Amino acid sequence: MTDDHTQVQEFFGARAAHWDSRFAGDGPRYEAAVAAMGLPPGGAVLDAGCGTGRALPYLRAAVGASGTVLGADLTQEMLDEAVRAGRDRHALLLRTDVARLPLGTGVLDGVFAAGLIAHLPEPEGNLRELARTVRPGGLLALFHPVGRAALAARQGRRITEDDLRAEPRLRPLLADAGWRLLSYVDEDSRFLALAAREEPHARP
Ligand SMILES: C[S@@+](CC[C@H](N)C(=O)[O-])C[C@H]1O[C@@H](n2cnc3c(N)ncnc32)[C@H](O)[C@@H]1O
């Protein structure tokens, strides 16, 4: 474990028990974000940084009983809450770093990542690892149930253009990591960037 991991685990470990009650009511936003991915029935999807697994029931509904849903998170307390909420019925939960996934290349149809990107120590390399696990044409959804401005206001700060999730930064970051940005929405009620996995040889 790195210092970055320890910080993440301490931060979210301390918040795990109240995570769901604090953000109760977000369910329909998660459901809509998952629907926007258009995952194929029978497909395979990873919830990267799944936390307490709020997206897992919707991901399971999207791929159906014959599909595969994985939830990966670094913080044991968040995964414990996912189990307590019964969300391990919908997915196989893995305690692992999404930057070092125990998955083969091109095995997934998509990756859903809510509230994750700001916590990645090496965003380009870490997004490239997610790309490795997804088949060409598969999707990445970077989601947050509130937009950048609303989140910054909640945290008592302003958004700036060097924010990783600002479109002028995110688009080239994704491209360098093997993803093509397809759509970008940043409004008070949601942040959702959808990107497609490029063919591995598509960029020089
Ligand atoms: C803001 S929370 C979001 C949790 C959940 N996706 C949700 O929407 O409720 C971010 C989560 O990402 C996890 N995380 C951060 N960095 C990670 C990494 N490198 N690998 C796996 N999980 C990570 C944290 O432990 C935390 O549970």
The predicted pLDDT at position 132 comes to 97
Q: How far is CA 15 from CA 24, 45, 53, 76, in A?
A: 14, 26, 14, 12
pLDDT tier, 111 (very low <50, low <70, confident <90, very high otherwise): very high
Question: What does DSSP assign to residue 24?
Answer: T
| Residue 2, pLDDT score | 76
Ligand 1-lining residues (CB < 6 angstroms):
8, 12, 49-52, 54, 72-75, 78, 97-99, 114-116, 119-120
Nearest Cα to Cα of residue 98 among 81, 77, 68, 75:
75
In the chain, what are the domain boundaries?
A: 3-197
Residue linked to tokens 């380009």: 124
pLDDT attached to residue 158: 85
- Measured in Å, residue 204 CA sits from the centre of ligand 1 at 32
Average pLDDT in the 75-85 region? Answer: 98
HSE of 92 in the Cβ direction (CA atoms, 13 Å)? Answer: 12
pLDDT digits (tens, 9 = 90+) for 118-135: 999 999 999 999 999 999
Q: Is the domain covering 3-197 a CATH 3.40.50.150 domain? A: yes
Please state the atom number of ligand 1 nearest to the C-alpha of residue 143.
8
* Residue 1 pLDDT level (bands cut at 50, 70, 90): low
The per-residue pLDDT for 123 is 96
